[in-house]
Amino acid sequence: MMALHRSGAVRIAALFLALFTFTVVAAFAVTYVMVREEILAHLRTDIMAAADMIAGRLERDRYDPPERVLRSIGQRRVAALFDGGGARIAGDPGLSSVIGWHEVPADDIELNEAPEFRSASALVYGRRVGQLTLVVGEGMDIVEDSREAVTSALLWSIGFVLLAGIGGAALIAWRIDRRIGRTQVALSAYASGEMTRRLPVEGSGDELDRMAVAVNTVLDRLAVLIETTRQITIDAAHDLKTPMTRLLHRLDEAESIPAEQAKGVLRAAAADAKQIIATFDALLRIAEIEAGARRARFDLVDLSDVAETLADAYGPEAEEAGQRLTTQIDSDLRVPGDRDLLTQALADLIENAIRHAGKGAGICVAVTSRDGTVEATVRDTGPGVPAADRERVLRRFVRLEASRSTPGTGLGLTLVKAIADLHNARLELSDNAPGLRVTLGFAEPAASKAPPAAPADAVVAQQQAAE
């Protein structure tokens, strides 16, 4: 178990213990002050009534002996009468001539109290009665008893608070230490290669549970990224092995044949090298898009204009392939995004349709709005993609053509998926009966202002880059 002084739970518990102890002490102090003032108020009322009674008798009956008058105030009180010079005339010898209220030691005052309850101090009140000074006092044993009771209760309360606080801090530290220990074990196992290990969640919904859920989400994402990286490495090595081997053989062949024949071999080798470079470029572009860095460039993009421009650019290529490219584009449909990436995605979809639909096929590029969603669709009447393979073709290096005789990297649809994910768009492959329908669905903004259209040179450059 971790050292107590290193436990955050213990430190927090100690802080709250100190705060609660201070609160208890302050509460008892306020309570004592209020109780003391209430008792003193009653004492002052009683003493003042006794003084008024004695003063009245002294003024009414000047022949009544002062000693007998002073003894009429009761057993618990004492009184004394002083002349104008302060000399005692009658009464308790322990009292002094004073005016007003005073708290004085009760050592020399003859209070009528039991020894075990003797007051340590007395409250006295002095006033003028003609030329004389009358002083009346009473022991403060009730005030002192209340102070002792409050002090005793305070000490017991502090002891209970300390005991409960220390016990609670130890319990909290043990529970947190146990849960953190289980968390450390799970993270260590994950770091050692057990990618299925996750932080324990007790279901209490407290801070540690919420943190465990958040960390488990990160671990899930990290596991997916690690598996994706591993698969990409395997797929890239497998997919690049053939063109690199072919490139090496052609370079070896070029060394052993006449120069005129070597030119053709070198041109083929250059084509292999371009395919390898194109594969790496596509991988880097996908990684950049998946990192989300391009979101900073988002603006409102006129998707209708992008689709029209691409249809015009790829129309001649489709016609040359013996295909017919048509459009169904509603005007002025805008979506938030990166114009270059959206151009790349639609260009890849059109190129895939031209490459795989076959001679005589019809290709349609459509941009429509439906139920608050802008949909960009590329559909063809070619052989299509079997339903079982529609999810698989979105992965890296997946090509349904086993012979791989047609040019391509197997990354086109992967790039489209990455762009769709970046734009929070829905990518759907469905049956066009016959052929394939690929749909990108975007949330339509409530209001927009169209940014300037990309120049036609950008489309041509995009087309050349894809080739």
Q: What is the pLDDT of residues 383-425, one digit of tens each?
A: 888 888 878 787 766 655 544 445 555 677 888 888 888 889 9
pLDDT higher than threshold 70 for residue 460: no
pLDDT at 77: 86
For 273, the token pair is 């090298």
Token readout for 145 is 């008893």
Per the structure block, which two tokens stand in for 277?
């470079």
Q: pLDDT at position 462, please?
A: 46
pLDDT category at 45 given cuts 50, 70, 90 is very high
* pLDDT per position as a tens digit, 283-301: 777 777 766 666 777 889 9
Gap between the Cα atoms of 222 and 217, Å rounded: 9
Least confident of 21-35, 54-68, 439-453: 439-453
463 pLDDT tier (thresholds 50, 70, 90): very low
Q: For residue 378, what pLDDT is reported?
A: 94
Q: What number of residues does the chain have?
A: 467
Distance CA 463, CA 336 (A): 23
Cα–Cα distance for residue pair 397/199, rounded to 1 Å? 35
DSSP state of 85: T
Instruction: Report which DSSP code applies to 332.
Output: S
- AA identity, residue 196: T
Q: Residue range 333-351: average pLDDT? A: 90
Per-residue pLDDT tens digits for 143-197: 888 888 888 888 898 888 888 878 877 787 788 788 888 888 989 988 888 888 8
On the CB side of 357, CA atoms within 13 Å amount to 30
For 237, other C-beta atoms within 10 Å of its C-beta total: 10
In angstroms, rounded to a whole number, what is the distance separating the alpha carbons of residues 314 and 324? 10
Of residues 212, 210, 216, 181, the one with CA closest to residue 196: 216
pLDDT of residue 446 exceeding 70, the answer is no
- One DSSP character per residue, 194-227 reads -TT------SS-SHHHHHHHHHHHHHHHHHHHHH
Are 111 and 94 a contacting pair, CB within 8 Å? no
| Average pLDDT, integer, range 94-118 | 84
Could you give all domains of the chain from N- to C-terminal order, each with its CATH number? 4-144 (3.30.450.20), 207-288 (1.10.287), 295-466 (3.30.565.10)
Contact residues for 331 (Cβ-Cβ < 8 A; gap 6+): 304
* Average of per-residue pLDDT across 81-98: 89
Extract the tokens encoding 183: 């968390």
- What is the distance between the alpha carbons of residues 133 and 127, in angstroms, rounded to a whole number? 6
Q: Do 444 and 303 meet the contact criterion of CB atoms below 8 Å apart? A: no
Report residue 56 as tokens: 């009245």
The rounded Cα 214 to chain-centroid distance in angstroms is: 9
